[in-house]
Amino acid sequence: MIDPLTVVDHPLVQHKLTLMRDQNTPSAEFRRLLREISQLLAYEVTRELAMTTRRIETPIETINAPVLAGKKLALISILRAGNGLLDGILELVPGARVGFVGLYRDEETLEPVQYYFKVPEHLDDRMVIAVDPMLATGNSSVAAIDLLKKAGATNIRFLCLLAAPEGIKRMQEAHPDVPIVTASVDEKLNDHGYIVPGLGDAGDRMFGTK
């Protein structure tokens, strides 16, 4: 069983994360590092993919060799920063089905509002991995998981690059059945909802916006 919270403290992940945190790292380099880290995190988050065996002939003998079983996994990008994690994981699992959840924050109610939702069919039969680099307040992540459960998903994992303790608490209270995999649990959120020390706005760093 995967732990409710996995922090991937592998030296390569931590080294690349430090480069990403550095405000002098340009967008192109930031995107490349995010793609590389996403593959190392994906290795952990996919540990429990169902397996079966296939009979194959090696040049030496015939064996029953392990292969992935069941329906293809579903990767769900929480827009827009989720797309930075998506590309790397898709290189590793090219057969994965892909969905997108778009949410914005209503300035009056401060509640997340859905503006886009497109996910693969048969979510109930797939491992579903929701990806968003930053688990900050947890509001949009919780709302995205709510939507995925409404669409039928029962076997969900959440993959992020950085998590704040506040976001982890919020997610684990709302969705205790959804394991979280991250590269770091940072110190806290600041008054503007940014992760401290964090890396700033992941979407802006990725796409060169402000």
Residue ranges for the known binding site for 5-phospho-alpha-D-ribose 1-diphosphate are 80, 105, 132-140, 201
From the candidates 87, 125, 146, 201, give the one annotated as an active-site residue: 201
- Give Cα separations from 134 to 11, 57, 63, 161 (angstroms): 20, 45, 43, 6
Please report which residue ranges of the chain form alpha helices under DSSP H. Answer: 11-21, 27-45, 83-92, 139-150, 165-174, 202-207
Q: How many CB atoms lie within 10 A of CB 125?
A: 14
| Residue 136 binding ligand URA, by CB under 6 A | yes
By CB under 6 A, name the one of 75, 134, 153, 171 that touches ligand URA.
Answer: 134
* Residue ranges in 175-204 that form contacts with ligand URA under rule CB under 6 A: 193-195, 198, 201-203
Beta carbons of 136 and 105 less than 8 angstroms apart: no
Is 209 a known active-site residue? Answer: no
Is 201 a known active-site residue? Answer: yes
To the nearest whole angstrom, how small is the minimum distance from the Cβ of residue 72 to ligand URA?
29
Beta carbons of 134 and 157 less than 8 angstroms apart: no
Distance, CA of 37 to CA of 171 (rounded, Å): 22
To the nearest whole angstrom, how small is the minimum distance from the Cβ of residue 108 to ligand URA?
20
Is 46 a known active-site residue? Answer: no
**Which residues are designated catalytic?**
105, 109, 201, 204
Binding footprint of ligand URA on the chain (CB under 6 A): 81, 134, 136, 193-195, 198, 201-203
